Amino acid sequence: MRIVAVADKFRGTATAIEVTAAITEACRTLGHDATAIPLADGGEGTLDVLGGANQHTTVTGPLGDPIECAWRLSGDTAVIESARVCGLDIVGGAEHNDPVAASTFGVGELIDNALRRGAKHITVTVGGSATTDGGLGALSALGSPHRFRGVRVIVACDVRTRFTDAARVFGPQKGATPAQVSWLTGRLEQLAARYRQHHGVDVTELIGAGAAGGLAGGLAALGATLRPGFDVVSDALDLPDLIEQADLVITGEGRLDATSFEGKVVGGVCELGAELRVPVAIVAGDIDRAQCPAALGRAMVSLTEQFGPQRAMTATIECIAAAIPGVIEHAQRRHSAARS
């Protein structure tokens, strides 16, 4: 069979590149023609699947410390991954974050650097941030509200969250107390009014404007276009054409739940497979089956269920490789049953 592996990262245990390599190697061992296509949805790892970094610039980190940030500039096209500038991992996780002070200023500095070097097409991927500043820091670093004039800026959003909901939905994950969530929500509401007044953009009406704690909405106020991160990556890699040529697609991520079908990689791949009539199988570190009605009828395997939590976490790549024969057999049985 012609098999295409189009997986996201297994957060904390394996990158998308490692996961797809493990799937394709296992498929080839079984005699199949397999292609690896690492994917991302606008969060961590998106820069790597869009070509990787070839630039390094010192900017301001989320809590004010200088950091060296990797990004990409090819001709007049730039790719900036906000997680590398103001990511939660940079501050050491939620327990070490200051959710009120955390700023996107460094993202603005990096965009400024790209503009000064002639970039006319800029993709900013958002997700995994420590911030809930509504993009105020980034806009402060950029200065003039006309910086995007003549420049196409795309924000690759990994969530569909509204601007004023960002603190309520993601604040606790970034270390915010209930009182801080309330305060941050109030600040987002004030910023939404300011953006409407000064830039003529109602960010409260934009799906995904709450990504990266409102960074997406702040950039939209200056004229950026918000797009689902999966769509941005899919278009860049010509994913529909690659899937259409396959007999089977194997996708996956670290945890499969309801959010996996709301703009994430697995959901996007499943939708494409359905449109193109190509069967899709799913490999996940863990599966919340009660929350995954959208995955019913597909071949699915949970590494945790099959190999146990400890091995699934500490030997993820080995578990993925070991699971592939069963995944393919399961997918073939389902496909044969469906055709009959």
Measuring CA to CA, which residue among 136, 135, 138, 88 is closest to residue 113?
Answer: 138
For 262, phi then psi, to 5°, come to -125, 60
Question: Which pLDDT score is estimated for 264?
Answer: 85
Question: Which pLDDT score is estimated for 297?
Answer: 66
70/61 Cα distance (integer angstroms): 13
Handedness of CA 213, 217, 220, 221 (dihedral sign): negative
Q: Give this prediction's pTM.
A: 0.88
Question: Which pLDDT score is estimated for 259?
Answer: 82
265/41 Cα distance (integer angstroms): 6
CB contact burial 153-179 (16+ within 10 A = b; e otherwise): bbbbbbbbbbbbbbbbebbeebbbeee
Residue with tokens 């080839």: 28
Residue 154 pairs in a beta bridge with 123, 225
Please report how many Cα atoms fall inside a 13 Å half-sphere around the Cα of residue 99, on the Cβ side: 27
Residues in the chain: 340
CB atoms under 10 Å from CB of 268, counted, come to: 25
48/322 Cα distance (integer angstroms): 26
Question: Which pLDDT score is estimated for 20?
Answer: 96
Residue with tokens 């006319």: 120
Question: Which pLDDT score is estimated for 131?
Answer: 98
Q: For residue range 178-234, what is the model confidence (pLDDT) as tens digits? A: 999 999 999 999 999 999 999 999 999 999 999 999 999 999 999 999 999 999 999
Structure tokens at 105: 């200023």
Measuring CA to CA, which residue among 216, 214, 293, 224 is closest to residue 261?
Answer: 293
Q: Which domains are assigned to the chain?
A: 2-39+238-339 (3.40.50.10350), 46-230 (3.90.1510.10)
Contact 42, 127 (CB under 8 A): yes
Instruction: Return the SS3 of 156.
Output: strand
Question: Which pLDDT score is estimated for 293?
Answer: 63
Indicate the pairing of strand 152-157 with strand 225-228.
parallel
Structure tokens at 127: 């997700």
Residues of the chain short of pLDDT 70, as ranges, are: 293-297, 334-340
3-state helix, strand, coil in the chain (%, to 5): 50, 20, 30
Contact 106, 86 (CB under 8 A): yes
Q: For residue range 271-295, what is the model confidence (pLDDT) as tens digits? A: 999 999 999 999 999 998 777 765 5
3-state SS string for 58-75: EEECCCCCEEEEEEEEEC
